Structure 1
Amino acid sequence: MSNLINKWNQVSLVKRILLGMMIGIILALTIPDAAQWVSIFGSLFVGALKAVAPILVLFLVMSAISKHRSGHQTNMKSIIVLYGLGTFLAGLVAVVASFLFPVTLRLTTSTQDLTPPGGILEVLEKILFNIVANPIDALISANYIGILAWALLLGITLRNAADSTKNMLSNFSDAISQLVKWVINLAPIGIMGLVFDAIATSGLSTLLDYGKLLLVLLGCMVFVAIVVNPIIVFLYIRKNPYPLVFKCLKESGITAFFTRSSAANIPVNMSLCEKLGLDEDTYSVSIPLGATINMAGAAVTISVLTLAAVNTLGIQVDMGTALILSVLAAVSAAGASGVAGGSLLLIPLACSLFGISNEIAMQVVGVGFIIGVLQDSCETALNSSSDVLFTATAEYAKTRKEGKEIIINA
């Protein structure tokens, strides 16, 4: 048995995940009732990732900041600029695509009694209160903005602590990182359960009525992932970006697609950054930060669905207003993690720019929930994979400026 396990572990994780996907699809299409028990593996896998992620972020950031050497560059300014640029351009791509391929909706009333934020100030207020949240409550509720704030502050105050204290933090960080590796190694079984559950319970038939909307939405996300992001990366590193882009999509995007949670994918991204040989002082902060503010997929969702509502109501939109929508979508998307319901509940905020009533906007949100099986999966895959992509880009750009050769471990 041990030899079998060793041989299994020697196979590429991506190949193992693909095998798990195939098994999940076959079971869902052939014996969905008899194999209902398979779905529990997906729930356990996502639950384990979500459980370990908050404590991993807390100790990794604390340990990295406490050991930070004075004068050591972490590239955080460049990464934040990349996050903002990527999110804005994603919103702009969605606006242009909506003009080129206008979509109308058959509105629904299925909004599950959700309440959207009243305005952009409410979104920003929520983020600020998340920053000053009780640290224990932040850990329990997986409030990553609060966790980051406390980890940064504690890390800074511990910079003058004894070496034994710093070593203890480092040991805790290493131990939790090892737990993360064990959880990630179970991804093939977990994704098998997630795929089975998605196909057996939801199927794809309900999505056919929204085929054109999905084509525009997913087309924008794919365009951002394989055209816009590579152009950004090339401008920074002046080297073929696609090995890095495909590495991030393959090892981060696939798991994010099925877990549909940027928070659950934080451990996966941390592990990928380590494989790429990136600076731990940087990625221990940039990855959880990206999971909260780097939301290119959310910007696409907000823009496309808002303009679909505009087209449905026959409202005329000029390019100036459309550009404002791109900016609003980018700012709103960055606050999506602070709002229950994520990007979909920020659609009414964008709709208000065109004078669309909250009642109609919430019907658009209902459409979003119907197509959420694919929309949310692709959105999360784009968001999460670009966290690693832009973190690596900033470090490789620094390497290029220093006149050193860029080596991408892809």
Structure 2
Amino acid sequence: MRNFIKKWNDLSLVKRIFVGLVIGIILAITIPNEAKPIVILGSLFVGALKAIAPVLVLFLVTSAISQHKKGQETNMKSIVILYLLGTFIAGFVAVVASFIFPVTIELAGANNSLTPPGGVVEVLKALLLNIVDNPVKAVYNANYIGILAWAVLLGLALKNAAESTKTMINNFSDALSKMVKWIINLAPLGIMGLVFDAITTSGIKALLGYGRLLMLLIGCMLFVALVANPIIVYLNIRKNPFPLVFKCIKESGITAFFTRSSAANIPVNMSLCEKLGLDTDTYSVSIPLGATVNMGGAAITISILTLAAVNTLGIKVDLATAVILSVLSAVSACGASGVAGGSLLLIPLACSLFGIPNDIAIKVVGVGFIVGVLQDSFETALNSSTDVLFTATAEFAKWRKQGKDIVIK
């Protein structure tokens, strides 16, 4: 048994996750009723990641800011520009794809009882209010905009504190990082439970009626991940982007796909950034920020579902309006994490651009929930893996200017 555990631990995490994935699929197909208790493994894994992520971000950011030396450079400006550019390009790709491959949807049966925000101003207002949220409440509710804001202020306030105080905060940060590694090591069991639950509860039959819509959504997300993002990376680092792209997809995208939570994937991304040798001062801020504002997948979802409704209703769209939709979807997507229901509830904002009534827009949201089993998984995988990709891109671009070798570890 001891030899088996040693051999198991010697395997890479990705290989172990693949084993868990295969076992979960086999159990779901062969003995779904008998193996039902393993669902708890997925819930425990996601719950543990979600629980530790807010505290990890608070201490990592506070420690990084408090120990930041004057004149020491970070790449936050470059990373934020990449986040915003990537989100806009994703929305634009979705709009172009919707023109080339127009789809319509059945709206009659789709419905839900959730209330969307009233406009872009309301989304931005909610985002600003999250910044000044009660710090304890922000940690409890995993409000990462609020956590970031208070962590930065606390870090600045502690800059002149005694070295012993800074050391204590740094020790807490290191301890939390170690705890995260322990949790991530249990990913194969968690993924096994998650994939088993997904197959036994949702299946594939419910999605077949929306096959073309799903193909367009997933196709756009894959295009952004494998074509648009690599081009952005190449223009910055002037080297083959695919080793970095595939590493981010493999080690961040896979776990995000099954957890379907950018917040739960923050510890995974932090660990990957450390593995890539990136600057802690930078990624401790950029990764939780990316989970809030880097929303290329959400921009794709908003654009495609909105234009599907437009096609269904026979509304004519000109090029100028399509470009405006790209901008609107990008702005709305940046506020997605602060709105209950995520990116789907921001669809009515985009629908209002074409004069689509709210009662019809809500039915479009309902369709989104129907295809959400796969749509949300691909969206989260794209969003979360791109957080690491763009953070690494900004860092490697800096290394290139300094004449350092860029090695993907």
The whole-number CA distance in structure 1 between the counterparts of 2:180 and 2:73 is: 27
Q: Secondary structure at the match of 2:158?
A: helix
The whole-number CA distance in structure 2 between the counterparts of 1:72 and 1:314 is: 56
The alpha-carbon deviation at position 407 of structure 1 amounts to: 1.8
**Equivalent residue, structure 2, for 1:348:** 348
**Equivalent residue, structure 1, for 2:146:** 146
CA displacement 1:280-336 (0-9 Å, x = unmatched): 000000000000000000000000000000000000000100000000000000000
**Equivalent residue, structure 1, for 2:193:** 193
**Equivalent residue, structure 1, for 2:368:** 368
**Equivalent residue, structure 1, for 2:359:** 359
**Equivalent residue, structure 2, for 1:242:** 242
Cα distance, 1:210–1:33 mapped onto 2, change above 3 Å: same
Q: Secondary structure at the match of 2:403?
A: coil
CA contact (8 A) 1:45 1:190 kept: yes
The whole-number CA distance in structure 2 between the counterparts of 1:327 and 1:117 is: 18
Q: Which amino acid aligns with 1:129?
A: L
Number of residue pairs matched by the alignment? 409
CA displacement 1:208-266 (0-9 Å, x = unmatched): 00000001000000000000000000000000000000000000000000000000000
The gaps in structure 2 that reach 5 residues or longer are none
**Equivalent residue, structure 2, for 1:275:** 275
Give TM-score, length-normalised by structure 2.
Answer: 0.99
**Equivalent residue, structure 2, for 1:379:** 379
Pairwise CA RMSD: 0.7
CA contact (8 A) 2:57 2:288 kept: yes
The whole-number CA distance in structure 2 between the counterparts of 1:59 and 1:288 is: 12
**Equivalent residue, structure 2, for 1:287:** 287
Residue identity over aligned pairs, in percent, reads: 75
Q: Which amino acid aligns with 1:84?
A: L
Q: Which amino acid aligns with 2:242?
A: Y
Q: Which amino acid aligns with 2:35?
A: A
**Equivalent residue, structure 2, for 1:306:** 306
**Equivalent residue, structure 1, for 2:224:** 224
The gaps in structure 1 that reach 5 residues or longer are none
The whole-number CA distance in structure 2 between the counterparts of 1:191 and 1:27 is: 13
The whole-number CA distance in structure 1 between the counterparts of 2:71 and 2:220 is: 40
Structure 1 stretch 63-72 or stretch 244-253: which is displaced more?
63-72
CA contact (8 A) 1:57 1:288 kept: yes
Is 1:317 matched up with 2:323?
no
CA displacement 1:1-58 (0-9 Å, x = unmatched): 4433222111010000000000000000011111110111000000000000000000
CA contact (8 A) 2:135 2:146 kept: yes
Q: Secondary structure at the match of 1:354?
A: coil
The alpha-carbon deviation at position 108 of structure 1 amounts to: 4.2
**Equivalent residue, structure 1, for 2:94:** 94
Q: Secondary structure at the match of 2:32?
A: coil
The whole-number CA distance in structure 1 between the counterparts of 2:166 and 2:205 is: 55
Q: Which amino acid aligns with 1:340?
A: A
Q: Secondary structure at the match of 2:23?
A: helix
The alpha-carbon deviation at position 110 of structure 1 amounts to: 4.1
Is 1:336 matched up with 2:313?
no
The whole-number CA distance in structure 2 between the counterparts of 1:119 and 1:109 is: 25
Q: Secondary structure at the match of 1:160?
A: coil
The whole-number CA distance in structure 2 between the counterparts of 1:65 and 1:344 is: 35
CA contact (8 A) 1:49 1:264 kept: yes
The alpha-carbon deviation at position 109 of structure 1 amounts to: 4.7
The whole-number CA distance in structure 1 between the counterparts of 2:202 and 2:211 is: 16
Give TM-score, length-normalised by structure 1.
Answer: 0.99
CA contact (8 A) 1:108 1:366 kept: no
Q: Which amino acid aligns with 2:211?
A: G
Q: Which amino acid aligns with 2:243?
A: P
**Equivalent residue, structure 1, for 2:84:** 84
CA contact (8 A) 1:41 1:190 kept: yes
CA contact (8 A) 1:24 1:193 kept: yes
CA contact (8 A) 2:45 2:187 kept: yes
Q: Which amino acid aligns with 2:201?
A: T
The whole-number CA distance in structure 1 between the counterparts of 2:319 and 2:80 is: 27
The alpha-carbon deviation at position 404 of structure 1 amounts to: 2.2
The whole-number CA distance in structure 2 between the counterparts of 1:4 and 1:170 is: 36
Q: Which amino acid aligns with 2:38?
A: V
Is 1:171 matched up with 2:148?
no
**Equivalent residue, structure 2, for 1:44:** 44
CA contact (8 A) 1:221 1:378 kept: yes
**Equivalent residue, structure 2, for 1:124:** 124
The whole-number CA distance in structure 2 between the counterparts of 1:33 and 1:8 is: 28
The alpha-carbon deviation at position 345 of structure 1 amounts to: 0.1
